[in-house]
Amino acid sequence: MILILDFGSQYTQLIARRVREARVYCEIHPYNLALEKIRALNPRGIILSGGPASLYESGAPDLDDAVLNLGCPVLGICYGMYVIAQHLGAHSAGAYAREYGSATMVIDQHDALFDGLEGREHQVWMSHGDRLEALPEALAAIAHSGNSPYAAVRTHEGRLRGIQFHPEVVHTPCGAQVLRNFVLKICSEPGDWTMAGFVATKLAEIRAQVGSDDRVLMGLSGGVDSSVAAALVHRAIGARLMCVFVDNGLLRAGERARMEETFAARLGIPLRIAEAADLFVERLAGVLDPEHKRRVIGHTFIDVFEREAAALGGARFLGQGTLYPDVIESVSFKGPSAVIKSHHNVGGLPERMRLQLIEPLRELFKDEVREVGRELGLGAEIVEREPFPGPGLAVRIVGEVTRERLELLRRADAVVMDEVARAGLGARLWQAFAVLLPLKTVGVMGDGRTYESVIAIRAVESQDGMTADWARLDAAFLARLSTRITNETRGVNRVVYDITSKPPGTIEWE
Ligand code: XMP
């Protein structure tokens, strides 16, 4: 495995993704992970991430010298490079040379890091405040850029390397190759981490954990993660997996039927449907604040789930579709990141019901989960589907959630889903959906004046949902949406398109 030590860069997860794309298993840990734990992981190579700190500040995060002397190759990225240089005796120059954006790197000396790159000049992405002013004896420059004489450096024997640029971002087109070279050529990883191998290992692990007669309970949300996790657990223990799907009345059109069709009919995984639409709508009456809504929905979900679990006769394990990004957030050296929105999950349930957790996907990224899903025979309608928030349409109805407003939004949203599918936009868009606004505007239809609701269309492109760009959709496509929504949704006379990226907006409106 490759160990990534996190100094707090916003891009650390991307480093891990690029390494995984080279079919090499890697894990992210905080930069100050104890030496004995690092030894126990027995990494074939270590990558030091970038970070927001300046090495010239007091108390800047630093490494134990021993980590650099474990014997395996080390690659420092940006801040990680300064850490290496400083351990090798670089003087703090203190010169502040901010550089942010594209730059041209010129390769001065051949190195395995640059294998397969054509020509000497390459576009790279820089994002740093400090700059190395002079190299210590032990380091030599192997590339430079306009603003930094030391765009890439290495020790003479070639075990420690540093690069000033960020190879993990898409703005460094040669970056994936550079990281691939590091893990495959320099660290000699075999590059054989595949999802088929992962599935085989996990099946054995789940069987060992659950034993021969215990049962596993899972709540399905309709999303990719819980669906794939359930399919995996089912493959491992068959009918001893019990799935509950809570119909909270906050689902998109056709969702429940899709779940029944996929799970019960196609995969042969029995699905217990909990009818809870009325309960959710009742409890949401008069709730306007987005965070309050989420809490009400979270608590109601737990109540319903507990009731259904009891009816099923109980279990010793609770299966969950936790992914690696959720795990990293809670171990990152920054600590759990600030709660921007309290995401709806079944937190608190395991302790309350005395259930042990089974989280077979907790080492995987979303794209890897999709691959596991395909490996398990799940169709595109599950594996490729867009993310959907646990609190459902409730966070897409700004203001109070009522049966009527849910119905209205569901109809408008069905038009969006239908048009996106017809136009084949699903693969390009991270999400596309309708939002119901809490206001009415004046319109004219037929010969009469109308005073009706406004629907906003939200369509974004994104790699991982953490940042997103509003989709530059074709005007004719938007026109079709607008016409169909106003024609087919009684109570709507105006459609607007949301042109806000994230940041500053979030993807969901609440
Ligand atoms: P935001 O709105 O924070 O959303 O930009 C980022 C991504 O997360 C999804 N999302 C949720 N997913 N429970 C979930 O499982 C939630 O409470 C929740 N809120 C937002 C959102 O759809 C987007 O893909």
Q: Which domain CATH number covers 407? A: 3.30.300.10
Average the pLDDT over 254-272 and give the result: 90
Residue nearest to atom 10 of ligand 1 (CA): 389
Residues with Cβ within 6 A of ligand 1? 341, 343-344, 387, 389-391, 431, 465, 502, 506-508
Boundary of a domain, candidates 129, 151, 186:
186
Closest ligand 1 atom, residue 508 Cα: 2
Please write the tens of the pLDDT for every residue from 127-143: 887 778 889 999 999 99
On whether both 304 and 371 belong to a single domain, the answer is yes
Boundary of a domain, candidates 186, 208, 234:
186
On whether both 110 and 225 belong to a single domain, the answer is no
Pairing mode of beta strands 26-30, 2-6: parallel
**Residue 510 placed within a domain:** no
pLDDT-based confidence at residue 90 (cuts at 50, 70, 90): confident
Boundary of a domain, candidates 332, 354, 383:
383
Higher pLDDT, 476 or 302: 476
Please write the tens of the pLDDT for every residue from 120-177: 999 999 988 777 888 999 999 999 998 888 999 999 999 999 999 999 998 999 999 9
**Residue 25 placed within a domain:** yes
Tell me how far the alpha carbon of residue 383 lies from the centroid of ligand 1, in angstroms: 17
**Residue 13 placed within a domain:** yes
At residue 443, the 3 state secondary structure works out as strand
Residue nearest to atom 7 of ligand 1 (CA): 465
Q: Considering the candidates 29, 87, 122, 166, report the single residue annotated as catalytic.
A: 166
CATH of the domain at 294: 3.40.50.620
For residue 72, indicate whether it is catalytic. Answer: no
Counting other chains too, the contacts that 356-359 makes at CB distance below 8 Å and 24 or more residues apart are: 356/316, 356/317, 356/318, 357/317, 357/318, 357/319, 357/320, 358/206, 358/209, 358/210, 358/216, 358/233, 358/317, 358/318, 358/319, 358/320, 359/229, 359/319, 359/320, 359/321, 359/322
On whether both 342 and 211 belong to a single domain, the answer is yes
Closest ligand 1 atom, residue 468 Cα: 5
Q: How far apart are CA 378 and CA 342, in angstroms?
A: 30
On whether both 30 and 167 belong to a single domain, the answer is yes
Looking at residue 93, what is its pLDDT? 54
CB atoms within 10 A of CB 491: 16
pLDDT above 90 covers what percent of the chain? 75
Domain boundaries, position 422: 402-497
On whether both 379 and 441 belong to a single domain, the answer is no
Q: How far apart are CA 396 and CA 450, in angstroms?
A: 23
On whether both 43 and 159 belong to a single domain, the answer is yes
Looking at residue 272, what is its pLDDT? 95
Considering just the CA atoms, what is the radius of gyration of the chain in Å? 26
Tell me how far the alpha carbon of residue 180 lies from the centroid of ligand 1, in angstroms: 31
**Residue 429 placed within a domain:** yes
Ligand 1: residue of 343, 462, 470 to mutate (most ligand atoms within 8 A of CB) is 343
Please write the tens of the pLDDT for every residue from 100-114: 889 999 999 999 999
Tell me how far the alpha carbon of residue 15 lies from the centroid of ligand 1, in angstroms: 23
Question: CA 365, 366, 371, 374 torsion: positive or negative?
Answer: positive
For residue 78, indicate whether it is catalytic. Answer: yes
On whether both 14 and 157 belong to a single domain, the answer is yes
Please write the tens of the pLDDT for every residue from 355-372: 899 999 998 988 899 999
Average the pLDDT over 180-202 and give the result: 96
Tell me how far the alpha carbon of residue 386 lies from the centroid of ligand 1, in angstroms: 11
Looking at residue 92, what is its pLDDT? 59
**Is the per-residue pLDDT at 98 higher than 90?**
no
On whether both 236 and 135 belong to a single domain, the answer is no
**Residue 436 placed within a domain:** yes
Please write the tens of the pLDDT for every residue from 304-319: 999 998 999 989 999 9
Looking at residue 330, what is its pLDDT? 57
On whether both 116 and 238 belong to a single domain, the answer is no
Average the pLDDT over 32-58 and give the result: 91
| pTM score | 0.81
Of the candidate ranges 45-54, 72-81, 426-435, the one whose mean pLDDT is the lowest: 45-54
On whether both 74 and 24 belong to a single domain, the answer is yes
**Residue 393 placed within a domain:** no
On whether both 164 and 246 belong to a single domain, the answer is no
Q: How many domains does the chain have?
A: 3
Looking at residue 348, what is its pLDDT? 66
CATH of the domain at 14: 3.40.50.880
On whether both 18 and 142 belong to a single domain, the answer is yes
Half-sphere CA count of 299, side-chain side, radius 13 A: 7
Tell me how far the alpha carbon of residue 343 lies from the centroid of ligand 1, in angstroms: 7
**Residue 316 placed within a domain:** yes
Q: Considering the candidates 26, 72, 78, 243, report the single residue annotated as catalytic.
A: 78
Q: How far apart are CA 237 and CA 247, in angstroms?
A: 25
pLDDT-based confidence at residue 94 (cuts at 50, 70, 90): low
Closest ligand 1 atom, residue 294 Cα: 17
Please write the tens of the pLDDT for every residue from 326-352: 777 655 554 333 333 444 345 567 777
Residue nearest to atom 11 of ligand 1 (CA): 389
**Residue 435 placed within a domain:** yes
Please write the tens of the pLDDT for every residue from 461-496: 998 787 899 999 999 999 999 999 999 999 999 999
